[in-house]
Amino acid sequence: MVMRVPSLKKGGDSGLSLHESGCGFPVSTQSVATTTGRMRRHTCFVLLFIAATVPVYVLGYSHGRVSSACATMRPNHSGSNAQSTNLPYQIIASSSTFNPGDTIQVMLRSNPGTTFKGFLLEARAAESSSSATPLGTFTEMIADAQLLNCTVTGTTYTNSGVWQIELHSEIPFISTEKVDVTVVQLVVGDNNRSTLIKTHGALMLIAWMTVGSIGMIIAKFFKSLGGSTKILGKKIWFQLHWTLMMLTVITTIIGFVLAFVQVKGWSYSAGAHPVLGCTVMGLALIQPSVAFFRPSPDHERRFIFNIFHNFMALAIKILAVATLFLGFKLIEGTENAWMQKVLGGFVGWECLIYVLLFICCYFKEEDWYVDCQEKVEPDLVILIVYLCGNLAFLIALLVGIGQT
């Protein structure tokens, strides 16, 4: 778009007159008023010109039936490119050949963990010479479906399918191998999750809801455990904490690798779950690496390490729990979400234990608490109760993973 504006020059009556003003330049009041009036008129002209030429031609389809996409079957959004990765959906037809009047059942199914807003579905001839010509009509549709009349090369073809699709509420039937929908073939499969994926989920659950949680609680509240007794030059609480956290990292690595072995690459259809999983894996490797180079307990800058170490532990725990929730949503669907609810109870149980242990720390110097410690250690009782509850939640979720 080319827009012409009046040239600006000094003096004269054509165009706009610019007169210098300020030190050393006398200015005529009449010429300034004339210039101001002309500038206002030209400014209005420019604004009107922009308002008349800038608006972009837009087609809106509030009903969802985009007839202009019938021929190309492309959304034509600005900046959109054709997909080069694996398809996030499957099209399954009951037959690849037909006779006039035949009815063919067609199923369009999204991959597990994938959602998309809508789609345009057409039946076309396989021959390249007529591949752009729609064939047949759609009759039996789902409740959210719409029918679209397509006009291609001057001919109107009725009842092309425009549907709304959502994620399966339950795990769909999954074949053991890729299927060519253009030929008739026997397909074998089931709706069970892969053993590797189940193992991946179980290991991550054990790592971050049991082993890692116990290690964090010991480091936070039980540094007096074992008194001054040492094992290999380190106090008992530290050896327990170090051992449990290393087991957490090792278990996380194994589960992380199993997921990639099963998917054979990146899981594009799993949403934010793999992104958070990789983040947790990276932070889980950084945490012990930094701890290895920690300063001595009496070093003047030890507090910096303590702050960083505690903050990292909290961040990893939050991200790990979020990743577990997303993982359970992937393996059990959206309709029967009992495992997600149990995991929520699991997290709530751990939060309750933390609150009780903080209360114990707050009253530790009180006389009644000291008297109570002479009979039984309240914080130790809370730890034992926590372990029993943790084990109950863990077994329930492991059984659920095995049944998916």
Model confidence pLDDT, tens digit, residues 148-185: 777 665 555 555 444 444 444 455 566 667 777 666 66
In a domain, 254, yes or no: yes
In a domain, 273, yes or no: yes
- pLDDT, position 19: 35
Q: Could you tell me the pLDDT band of residue 123, with boundaries at 50, 70 and 90? A: confident
Q: Could you tell me the pLDDT band of residue 50, with boundaries at 50, 70 and 90? A: low
Entry pTM: 0.55
**Residue 134's CB: how many other CB atoms inside 10 A?**
22
Q: Could you tell me the pLDDT band of residue 342, with boundaries at 50, 70 and 90? A: very high
Q: Could you tell me the pLDDT band of residue 256, with boundaries at 50, 70 and 90? A: very high
- pLDDT, position 162: 45
- pLDDT, position 79: 61
CA distance 393 to 168: 27
Write the burial class of residue 5 (CB in 10 Å: 0-12 exposed, 13-18 middle, 19+ buried): exposed
- pLDDT, position 110: 77
**Residue 356's CB: how many other CB atoms inside 10 A?**
17
Instruction: For residue 108, list its beta bridge partners.
Output: 91
Model confidence pLDDT, tens digit, residues 72-103: 777 666 666 667 777 777 788 777 777 766 77
Structure tokens, 335: 């309709």
Structure tokens, 140: 């039996």
Model confidence at 394: pLDDT above 60: yes
Q: The CATH number of the domain where 351 resides is what? A: 1.20.120.1770
Model confidence at 55: pLDDT above 80: no
In a domain, 208, yes or no: yes
What b/e sequence results for 88-108 when a residue is b if at least 16 CB atoms lie within 10 Å of its CB, and e otherwise?
eebeeeeeeeeeeeeeeeeee
In a domain, 309, yes or no: yes
Structure tokens, 92: 């399954």
- pLDDT, position 334: 55
CA distance 363 to 27: 84
What is the per-residue DSSP string for 77-142? -TT-----S--SEEEEES-S---TT----EEEEEPTT---S-EEE--B-SSGGGTTSB-S---S--
- pLDDT, position 23: 42
Cβ-contact 260, 209 below 8 angstroms: no
Structure tokens, 47: 């604004």
Quick one: average pLDDT of 15-44? 48
In a domain, 174, yes or no: no
Cβ-contact 392, 330 below 8 angstroms: no
Better pLDDT: 171 or 49: 49
Q: Could you tell me the pLDDT band of residue 311, with boundaries at 50, 70 and 90? A: very high
Q: Could you tell me the pLDDT band of residue 63, with boundaries at 50, 70 and 90? A: low
Model confidence at 298: pLDDT above 90: no
Q: Could you tell me the pLDDT band of residue 24, with boundaries at 50, 70 and 90? A: very low
Structure tokens, 68: 């202009």
Strand ranges across the sheet with 119-121: 119-121, 155-163, 146-152
- pLDDT, position 74: 72
- pLDDT, position 138: 74
Location of structure tokens 């590797």: 196
CA distance 199 to 202: 5
Structural domain count, the chain:
2
In a domain, 377, yes or no: yes
**Average pLDDT in the chain:** 75
Model confidence at 210: pLDDT above 90: yes
Write phi, then psi, for 250 (nearest 5 degrees): -65, -45
In a domain, 223, yes or no: yes
Nearest to 255 by CA among 179, 201, 314, 320: 201
In a domain, 333, yes or no: yes
Containing structural domain, residue 33: 8-53
Q: Could you tell me the pLDDT band of residue 18, with boundaries at 50, 70 and 90? A: very low
Displacement of CA 333 from its chain's centroid (Å): 15
Quick one: average pLDDT of 196-222? 92
Sign of CA dihedral 208, 288, 295, 222: positive
Which range, of 12-16, 46-50, 321-325, averages the lowest pLDDT?
A: 12-16
Q: Could you tell me the pLDDT band of residue 9, with boundaries at 50, 70 and 90? A: very low
Percentage above 70 pLDDT, the chain: 64
Better pLDDT: 267 or 33: 267
- pLDDT, position 7: 38
